[in-house]
Amino acid sequence: TRVLVLHGPNLNLLGQREPDVYGPTDLATIDQRLADQAKAAGAHLETFQSNAEHALVERVQEASRQGVEAIIINPAAFTHTSVALRDALTGVAIPFIEVHLSNIQAREPFRQHSYFSDAARGVIAGLGPIGYELALQAILQAAERN
Ligand code: DQA
């Protein structure tokens, strides 16, 4: 199974950024755990973080050319703003799981709408970094059953 993990803006600052909201774990640690989990399952995993909307759109288009079978994405602030990134995902028609560290439904009203959720295979929010691992587990388990 070929899986791509995408992290949106400011997630490069995890660990330092609002630790009361996003926790103490940095992005390199999250990515390493996912890499270990994928390796143990014999899956191919790539991770990519960008603060730029266009870079994320281009990475999604590249994923299609690479034959990526599933995407895990935390669009971060683009969750609430980006039709372009949503269109990239629906355009390539690669199934994706939306992950958020915090429970966006329990936060400010502007975080309670996502441009991604209705197009996602599933959504995991509020469980911290474990959310990414659960998303990867779901993808790997589903692939095993097929
Ligand atoms: C986030 C929630 C978003 O509202 C916020 O803009 C982020 C991170 C999360 O993982 O909880 O940057 O996606």
Number of structural domains found in the chain: 1
Q: Determine the average pLDDT of the residues in 103-112.
A: 98
C-alpha 67 chain-centroid distance: 17
SS3 2: strand
User: What pLDDT, on the 0 to 100 scale, is given for residue 146?
Assistant: 77
- Give the distance (Å) from ligand 1 centre to CA of residue 110: 11
For residue 87, say whether it is annotated as part of any ligand binding site.
yes
Q: Choose among 16, 18, 36, 39: nearest CA to 26.
A: 16
Q: What is the pLDDT of residues 43-76, one digit of tens each?
A: 999 999 999 999 999 999 999 999 999 999 999 9
Which residues, at least 6 apart from 145, have a Cβ–Cβ distance to it below 8 Å? none
C-beta of residue 8 within 8 angstroms of C-beta of residue 98: no
SS3 142: helix
Is the residue at 52 inside a domain?
A: yes
Which CATH number covers residue 110?
3.40.50.9100
- Give the distance (Å) from ligand 1 centre to CA of residue 76: 4
Is the residue at 133 inside a domain?
A: no
Is the residue at 63 inside a domain?
A: yes
Is the residue at 141 inside a domain?
A: no
Is the residue at 58 inside a domain?
A: yes
Is the residue at 14 inside a domain?
A: no
Single out the catalytic residue among 7, 44, 54, 100.
100
With a cut of 80, say whether residue 145 has pLDDT above it: yes
> In a 10 Å sphere around its CB, with 0-12 CB exposed, 13-18 middle and 19+ buried, how is residue 85 labelled?
buried
Q: Determine the average pLDDT of the residues in 98-115.
A: 98
Sort strands 96-100 and 2-7 into parallel, antiparallel or unpaired: unpaired
Nearest-atom number in ligand 1 for the CA of 11 is 12
Is the residue at 8 inside a domain?
A: no
ipTM of the complex: 0.99
H or E element, residue 97: strand 96-100
The answer to whether 113 is a known catalytic residue is no
Residue span of the structural domain in which 108 resides: 48-127
- Give the distance (Å) from ligand 1 centre to CA of residue 10: 9
Is the residue at 12 inside a domain?
A: no
Q: Determine the average pLDDT of the residues in 16-29.
A: 96
C-alpha 79 chain-centroid distance: 11
